[in-house]
Amino acid sequence: MKSGEISFSLTTKKGKTMTKCETCGRQNEGLFEVIKDGVSRTFDSFDCAIEAMARPCKNCGCLITGNDSLDGDITFCCGACQRQFAELGNKLARTTV
Ligand SMILES: [Zn+2]
Ligand SMILES: [Zn+2]
Q: Provide CB contacts within 8 A for 96, sequence distance 6+.
A: none
Cα 84 to ligand 1 centroid, rounded to whole Å:
34
Which tens digits make up the pLDDT trace of 26-74? 987 788 888 877 888 999 998 898 888 888 888 999 888 765 566 667 8
Can you give the pLDDT at residue 21? 93
- The CB density around residue 2, as the number of other CB atoms within 10 Å, is 5
Q: What are 8's strand-pairing partners? A: 34
Can you give the pLDDT at residue 11? 56
Cα 70 to ligand 2 centroid, rounded to whole Å:
11
Of all ligands present, the nearest one to the C-alpha of 41 is: 1
| Domain residue extents for the chain | 1-53, 54-97
Cα 74 to ligand 2 centroid, rounded to whole Å:
11
Residue 19 pLDDT greater than 60, yes or no: yes
Q: Is the pTM of this model over 0.75?
A: no
Q: How far is CA 24 from the centre of its chain?
A: 17
> Given its phi and psi angles, is residue 35 left (phi above 0), alpha (psi -120 to 50 degrees) or beta?
beta
